[in-house]
Chain A
Amino acid sequence: MLCMAISASGCVVVKAHQREALAKRSMTNDREPGEARFGQHATGSREGADGGTGQPGGGCGCN
């Protein structure tokens, strides 16, 4: 992953003043913390592949 990221960085450098589109809300984080947290907890309660989030496993038969 690191090698891929480093090699990709050699392809293009976008200067700070060229990042108008990249600074938009939809391009940085379109999900608020509460929305993302509930989404993680809901999928962790229903699906077997929620690993790595450290979410509490209790309630609604989540474990």
Chain B
Amino acid sequence: MRLPVAILVALAPSLAAADGTLSMRGVYYKERSTRVMQPMLDGLFDVGTRGLVNAHFLVDAITSASASSGADNQMPFTENRLEAGAGYAHDFDPIRVGAQARYSSESDYRSFYAGVRGEVDLAQKNMTLGAGFGVASDKISAAAAQGPAIPTLSCTPTMSERQCDLTSYIGFASASQIVAKNAVVGLTYDITKLEGYQSNPYRTALADDGIAPERHPTERLRQAIAASMRYYVGRTKTTLVGAYRYYHDDWDVDAHTPEVRVIQQVGATVDATFRYRYYTQDAAFFFRDRYPTTDAAVFPFISDDVKLSEFTDHTFEAKLGVFGETFGMSGRWADARFEGIISYVAQYNRFGNAVIAHAALTVPITY
């Protein structure tokens, strides 16, 4: 998560008399061989008049029969991932700076991320420019393997270990510009350099002469550029959001992601959102459905990663947001927001289609 500093700070005045918000959200995700339940807690708190702290904690309860998760003979098993994060943003008008850290832990994967970012308002706050940098340090093992033995990992072509490292260097820049009283456009650019183990320790690639553990390159440079526009139609109280993202990396994966959202205000306290997202990508240069041989001299890199194959998916989503006032609640509960989301993802690959459901409650708090 990278919540822009401007959004963090902009949210503060909208809290009215409250000094913060507390959000509880539960998410259910289901596809052919994987089910995820994720309860999470998010907090946002004023610190003085110019500071804002955010924090979150979540649990991913993953039940999977997928071999890529470590399942043996397609026997489903469950494991938990814990994640906690916190950040601080300070407003030095017209400059804002922020820092964010996050830690994630599960039996076979630990990740720590730390990053900083800054933003500046220009042209009477009609334009905001932002930039940031972060580093993620991950440690990967095959500890979740359900078979009789925990496999070792080929961290590099010449080194096998129980645990491998992956370091990601992340840079990003953004610009947003008000172009009318009811329209704003944005542009973002992301670049990530990954160094280290990037295979899946449980997956094997299929070849005419047998199977072999995945061998992915240990370096990857990923870049993405995205443009977006928001337009408000006052007569119907409708907001139209359009976005497009282009992604390219040096494994030759190219992806296009257009998305539209229509947000309709219904009265003063209810809003409904409809979202459609299209995603298409082509395959990495070394990906094959089946390799002629597992010989590393012929194919240095082999993979069975669906995410490196050519495919498309479509996401259809509906969201309903309701403030407590709708139900006659008073005090802080009048400003509490209830949210329900249902998504259907049609995936044209072996993951199969997915259903995602959210239920959330955000309550303003004072302290």
How many residues does chain A have at the interface if contact means C-beta atoms less than 8 Å apart?
51
Instruction: Check if B134 sits within 8 Å of A61, measured CB to CB.
Output: no
Q: Is B124 close to A, CB under 8 A?
A: yes
State how many angstroms separate the Cβ of B246 from the closest Cβ of chain A: 9
Instruction: Check if A59 sits within 8 Å of B123, measured CB to CB.
Output: no
From the candidates A15, A27, A30, A34, name the one contacting B124 in the complex (CB within 8 A): A15
Q: Give A33-61 as 1s and 0s: 1 = Cβ < 8 Å from B's Cβ atoms.
A: 11111101011001111011111111111
Closest residue of A by beta carbon distance from B10: A28
Closest residue of A by beta carbon distance from B29: A42
Which chain B positions have C-beta within 8 A of A33?
1, 3, 23, 42, 44, 54, 56
Which chain B positions have C-beta within 8 A of A46?
306-307, 313, 345, 347, 351, 354
Instruction: Check if B124 sits within 8 Å of A52, measured CB to CB.
Output: no
Q: Which residues of A are in contact with B by a Cβ distance under 8 Å?
A: 1-2, 4-6, 8-9, 11-16, 18-22, 24-30, 32-38, 40, 42-43, 46-49, 51-61, 63
Q: Which residues of B are in contact with A by a Cβ distance under 8 Å?
A: 1-3, 7, 10-11, 14, 23, 25, 27, 29, 34, 36, 38, 40, 42, 44, 54, 56, 58, 60, 62, 64, 66-69, 79, 81, 83, 102, 104, 106, 108-111, 113, 115, 122-127, 129, 134, 136, 138, 140, 166, 168, 170, 172-173, 175-182, 184-185, 187, 189-192, 198-203, 222-224, 230, 232, 234, 239, 241, 245, 247, 249, 253, 255, 257, 261, 263, 265, 271, 273, 279, 281, 284, 305-308, 313, 339, 341, 345, 347, 351, 354, 356, 358, 360, 362
